[in-house]
């Protein structure tokens, strides 16, 4: 039987507890989870690509994951790593329409790659990277919003910016 590989892509700016929940659940379903940290030159990220990759690596140590940076299309990355499935997390029903449209585009580009939606755990449905960035910019505690391994890194990043 061949190895079951999936790809979970996102900007992870920064990685949240909701993202980590999806990653852990994907790890239960697949032999290997490729976490593709996206670099979009048209988007201004709070953290550099290397900082985001490092935070994801810290939070997923010990899991059956591989963390990579990606600058092109996620379907190209999925093919490169032999992933037959791309994971997408849904926090709320409002996420579904845009994610469905993205899945259809990806299916047109790579019909051999399936998109699998994982509904986020209710306790994380209110967490977004943008909310975390705003909280951090005001010096709020990030406990329960981001993985423990990243709290201090994110807080320090914003402390030095202010």
Q: Is the pLDDT of residue 18 over 70?
A: yes
Q: Find the catalytic residue in 32, 52, 88, 91.
A: 91
The CATH number covering residue 107 comes to 3.40.50.620
Q: Find the catalytic residue in 32, 52, 129, 157.
A: 129
Q: What is the largest CA-CA distance in the chain?
A: 53
Give catalytic status of residue 129 as yes or no: yes
Give catalytic status of residue 91 as yes or no: yes
Pairing between β-strand 5-10 and β-strand 65-70 as defined by DSSP bridges:
unpaired
Q: To the nearest whole percent, how much of the chain has pLDDT over 90?
A: 88
Mean pLDDT in residue range 24-35: 98
Q: Which of 125, 146, 119 is nearest to 135 (CA)?
A: 146
Structural domain tally of the chain? 1
Angle, helix 148-161 to helix 129-137, in steps of 10 degrees = 50
Q: Which domain holds residue 100?
A: 5-161
Identify the band that residue 24 occupies on the pLDDT scale cut at 50, 70 and 90.
Answer: very high
């Amino acid at each position: 039987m061949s190895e079951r590989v999936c790809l979970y892509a996102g900007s992870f700016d920064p990685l949240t507890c909701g993202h980590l929940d999806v990653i852990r659940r994907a790890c239960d379903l697949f032999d290997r989870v490729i976490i593709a940290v996206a670099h979009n030159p048209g988007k201004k990220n709070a953290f550099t690509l290397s900082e985001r990759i490092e935070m994801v690596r810290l939070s997923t140590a010990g899991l059956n994951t591989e963390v990579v940076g990606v600058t092109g299309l996620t379907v190209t990355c999925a093919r490169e790593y032999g992933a037959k499935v791309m994971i997408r997390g849904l926090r709320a029903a409002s996420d579904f329409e845009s994610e469905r449209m993205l899945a259809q585009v990806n299916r047109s580009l790579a019909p051999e790659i399936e998109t699998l939606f994982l509904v986020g755990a209710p306790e994380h449905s209110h967490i977004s990277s943008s909310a975390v960035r705003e909280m951090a910019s005001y010096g709020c505690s990030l406990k329960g919003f981001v993985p423990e391994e990243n709290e201090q890194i994110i807080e320090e990043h914003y402390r030095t910016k202010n």
